[in-house]
Structures are given as C-alpha cells and as structure tokens.
Amino acid sequence: MRLIADPLLWLLALFIALLFLMPHTSALFSWLFPELARPMYQQDSFSSLALAHLTLVAVSSLVAVVVGVGLGIAVTRPAGLEFRSLVETITAAGQTFPPVAVLAIAVPVMGFGQQPAIIALVLYGLLPILQGTLAGIGAVPEATREVAFGAGMSRWQVLRKVELPLAAPVILAGVRTSVIINIGTATIASTVGANTLGSPIIIGLSGFNTAYVIQGAILVALAAIVTDRLFERLLRYITRYEG
C-alpha cells in the first residue's frame, strides 16, 4: 500500500505516460489552439527527445561533479588553500556567463551538436557543486580530524573515511541543485542542433506555436520535479544511514 501511495512513483508514472500518450492528445491541443494548423509536435518522438535530454544532463552533470568535487577537495588541502579564492571566483564567473554565449563561442570551434552544449552545462552547473563541497568539508569538526590523525590515519584516509562521508549530505545538496538547473538549461541545447525536450519549445517560439512550447515545457518541468524528488529520497537515505 505504501508503494501505491508513493508520490514519487505517481510522478514518474505520469512522466513516462505523457512521453508516449502526448502524441495522442492532438484533439485536445486542436481544441485549445484552434488557430494552429499543426498543434502537435511530430518531428521527433517525445520519448527519444527525453532520452537524449536526460543523457545530456547526466553526462554534463557527471563531468561537473568530478571537476567540482575535485576542485573543492584540492583547495581545502594545505597545498591548495592559497588557490581557493581564485577557484571560487573563476567558477562563479562561469555560472554568470550566459550559456547561450558559451554556445556561441563553442560552436565555431566544435561544431553543432552535444559537445558545445555539454561545455555550457558543465560551466553553468559547476558552482553549486563546488560550494557544496567546500561547505561540507569545512563543516567537518577539526576535533574529528585530530582524532582520525591520532588513530594513525594518513591524510588520504582521513579524506576518504572521515571528511567525505561527513560532507556527503551537503555535497549531494549541491549536486541536486546543479542537476535541476541543468535540466532546465539543457533546453537551449536544441538551438545548436542537439535533440532535447527543448526542441518543441525552440521550434514553438520561433514559429509562434504555443502548443509546442507547452508540450515541451510540461515534460521538462516533470523531469525536473521527478529528479528533485529522487535526490530528496537519496539525501534522506544518506542522512538516516549516517545517523
């Protein structure tokens, strides 16, 4: 009974159902937008767009996690402390730089497709992960580190067995924010030839087709909500496990 009442399962089921049933709602959109000759997006299947969209987000988020957590660890080590301010400044600048501008710069060099979009998403999603890593490691009590060193652990062992496990909930919160941001931001990847759920939105905006925009926006919003709930569930599990 608990599984049946789980809102996450209902949201996931709704998202999957819409991917396959949306093309069959043409009559509904024809009624809502009678002035449109083609109210249903048909260039690509919504399921293939969703798969490409989530793959793009997953790849860019994975790169951002590796880079963000790696930089966060590096600048909290004694040898990297002096670079912390510089790294934070550069990373913050990366997020304030508009993703569209990154695409405009990257496309002439890399061509159209997913590669320039990945670069833009990594730059845009890096700051929350770095901040979460710095905050998480910074919140580890110094007394805990001293006890670990006193027990004969090396610096690497203290990081792996003490600091990272204790910092995990805060780091995961930063990853959660980054991924949710990227799910929405990935829609602009369709402007450079990548297939995403932004395709109907971009085509709808350029062709004044509000129906296309709504169809894409609903699926992007649901994908973000489902992902956010998944992270919430994972964060709750980690917190309970550590407690």
> For the domain that residue 131 is a member of, what is the CATH number?
1.10.3720.10
**Rounded percentage of the chain residues whose pLDDT exceeds 90:** 48
**Dist CA 115 CA 119 (whole Å):** 7
Q: Which domain holds residue 64?
A: 46-242
24, part of any domain: no
Contact status, residue 166 vs residue 140, Cβ threshold 8 Å: yes
Residue 39: inside a domain, yes or no? Answer: no
Domain annotation covers residue 33: no
Q: Check residue 154 and give its pLDDT.
A: 84
Please check whether residue 92 lies inside any domain of the structure: yes
**pLDDT one-digit tens code per residue, 210-221:** 999 999 999 999
Q: How many domains does the chain have?
A: 1
Distance CA 199, CA 50 (A): 10
Q: Is 190 among the domain residues?
A: yes
How far is Cα 200 from Cα 212, in angstroms, rounded to an integer?
5
Helix (H, G, I), strand (E, B) or coil at 75: coil
Residue 138 falls within a domain, yes or no?
yes
The pLDDT score that the predictor gives to residue 134 is 94
Give 70-118 pLDDT, tens digit per residue: 999 999 998 888 999 999 898 888 777 777 777 777 777 777 777 888 8
CA-wise closest residue to 66 among 107, 101, 118, 112: 118
Q: Give me the pLDDT at residue 1, please.
A: 47
Q: What's the CA gap between 167 and 179, in Å, rounded?
A: 18
| Structure token digits, residue 28 | 């509904």
Query: What is the pTM (predicted TM-score) of this model?
Result: 0.89
The verdict on residue 27 lying in a domain is: no
Ordered per-residue pLDDT tens for the chain, 243 residues? 455 557 888 899 999 999 999 988 889 999 999 998 899 998 889 999 999 999 999 999 999 999 999 999 999 998 888 999 999 898 888 777 777 777 777 777 777 777 888 888 898 889 999 999 999 999 988 888 888 888 888 888 888 888 999 999 999 999 999 999 999 989 988 888 888 999 999 999 988 999 999 999 999 999 999 999 999 988 888 877 655
Give a yes or no: residue 30 inside a domain. Answer: no
